[in-house]
Amino acid sequence: MGFSLPGIRRMLGIASCALLITLGSDATAATLRVGITLHPYYSFVAHIVGDRAEIIPMIDADSNPHGYTPQAGDMMRMTSMDVLVVNGIGHDSWAFEILDAAGMRDKIPLIYANDGVSLIPVAGDNIGEKIVNPHTFISTTAAIQQIYSIARSLGELDPDNAEFFRNNARQYALEIRKLRAEFDEKVSGTDLSKFVSATMHSGYDYLLQELGLQVSAVIEPRHGVEPTARQMADTIDRINLANVNVLFAEKYFASKLSDTIRDATGVEMYSISHISSGPYTPEKFADEMRENLNTLAQAINDVAQDSV
């Protein structure tokens, strides 16, 4: 159930008082408490800080961050944070609604994970607003940039541990680079000329662009917004005209549209994780990114084999 802004403010005030009573005078001496809005950021921060900071997810693990509605428990978690790591370009707009409703946007330092990442623009809305693709974490290159950016910002907040954070970031970046190396080995020498893909929406663009794979059609105009009958027909036409042979759908929030497209075009469908659901764990990002890269390698090799 959602809450109005006045209701959020009332709950926040109650939560803040309760938290202060609980923490008392020891609050200022506590370990740095790092809030995160998305699952990948939990993994990034966990590897960076080790046991020298506490990580506080802003929403429950099984909540869908796409179009999330703030809940009462989110207010209490937010008041316990010293800093908050955010996507800030569209994937966690609900976090800013909570901050604004509480009047705390200027009271909690924000780490914008995408500072320094080259963003991919997408079509704007009907008033011409410029919009960028917020799924930067579904990538190895952009993920490494975010890991370094987060580590640097946390080091500024906690100078005593800055070197520790930097060293951990380098080690974690090396782990992510190994994932890309494993992928490159799996597709080495494979002919990519016949590989033509479509996606359910633009969440995979950073990863596919990084790997040099082109997308010929995107099914949903925006994530979670089903195309009109006319848009669907046009998309099916584009898929057929472009000889698309691979369709990528989201693993955990797959739409029935993916089956409709597959049935109408005959393309093979593969699932990619958005790394946005399930338990928060340090290894979640690497585990699911490895699975994504293995899926892409399989799709590439399947297409190459079918074209022989």
Residue 278: pLDDT above 50? yes
Q: Output the average pLDDT for the chain.
A: 84
In this predicted model, what pLDDT tens digit does every residue of 112-148 receive, in sequence order?
A: 999 989 999 875 544 456 789 999 999 999 999 999 9
Structure token digits, residue 252: 């955990």
> End of a domain among 156, 177, 198?
177
Query: What is the SS3 assignment for 156?
Result: helix
Mean pLDDT of 174-202: 92
Using a pLDDT cut of 90, give the percent of the chain over it. 50
Q: What is the pLDDT of residue 79?
A: 82
Q: What is the pLDDT of residue 234?
A: 85
Residue that has been written with the tokens 């042979």 in this structure: 245
Side-chain-side CA neighbours of residue 87 (13 Å):
24
The closest alpha carbon to 176, from 80, 290, 70, 92, belongs to: 290
**Are both 77 and 171 inside the same structural domain?**
yes
- What are the φ and ψ backbone dihedral angles of 96, each rounded to 5 degrees? -75, -30
**Are both 286 and 254 inside the same structural domain?**
yes
Residue 149: pLDDT above 80? yes
Mean pLDDT of 236-248: 89
> End of a domain among 177, 206, 237?
177
Cβ pair 169, 151 in contact under 8 A: yes
Q: How confident is the model at residue 5 (pLDDT cuts 50, 70, 90)?
A: very low
**Are both 83 and 143 inside the same structural domain?**
yes
Query: In sequence order, which residues have a C-beta less than 8 Å from that of residue 34 and are 6 or more positions away?
Result: 45, 49, 53, 54, 55, 56, 81, 82, 83, 84, 85, 154
The closest alpha carbon to 94, from 135, 41, 38, belongs to: 38
**Domain housing 120:** 5-177
Q: What is the pLDDT of residue 21?
A: 38
Total domain count, the chain = 2
**Are both 170 and 284 inside the same structural domain?**
no
Q: How confident is the model at residue 104 (pLDDT cuts 50, 70, 90)?
A: confident
The closest alpha carbon to 64, from 92, 88, 41, 40, belongs to: 92
**Are both 191 and 119 inside the same structural domain?**
no
Reported in sequence order, the residue ranges of the chain that DSSP labels E, i.e. its strands, are 33-36, 54-57, 83-86, 110-112, 121-122, 131-132, 197-199, 215-218, 246-250, 268-272
Question: What's the CA gap between 65 and 274, in Å, rounded?
Answer: 11
Task: Please indicate whether residue 95 or residue 29 has the higher confidence score (pLDDT).
Answer: 95
Q: What is the pLDDT of residue 224?
A: 57
Mean pLDDT of 43-59: 96
Side-chain-side CA neighbours of residue 80 (13 Å):
23
**Are both 50 and 130 inside the same structural domain?**
yes
∠ CA 144-272-260, rounded to 5°: 150
Say which CATH number the domain at 83 has.
3.40.50.1980
Residue 197: pLDDT above 70? yes
Q: How confident is the model at residue 225 (pLDDT cuts 50, 70, 90)?
A: low
Residue 11: pLDDT above 80? no
Q: What is the pLDDT of residue 155?
A: 97
Structure token digits, residue 220: 């949903």
Residue 177: pLDDT above 90? yes
Mean pLDDT of 84-106: 89
Question: What's the CA gap between 179 and 295, in Å, rounded?
Answer: 13
> End of a domain among 177, 199, 232?
177
Using a pLDDT cut of 70, give the percent of the chain over it. 84
**Are both 10 and 77 inside the same structural domain?**
yes
**Are both 18 and 165 inside the same structural domain?**
yes
The closest alpha carbon to 293, from 277, 270, 276, belongs to: 270
**Are both 242 and 298 inside the same structural domain?**
yes
**Are both 231 and 166 inside the same structural domain?**
no
Burial of 308 (0-12, 13-18, 19+ CB in 10 A): exposed
**Are both 244 and 152 inside the same structural domain?**
no
Q: What is the pLDDT of residue 123?
A: 58
∠ CA 153-68-96, rounded to 5°: 40
- Full-model pTM: 0.85
Task: Please indicate whether residue 39 or residue 62 has the higher confidence score (pLDDT).
Answer: 39
Q: What is the pLDDT of residue 255?
A: 61
**Are both 124 and 87 inside the same structural domain?**
yes
Residue 20: pLDDT above 60? no
Q: What is the pLDDT of residue 221?
A: 58
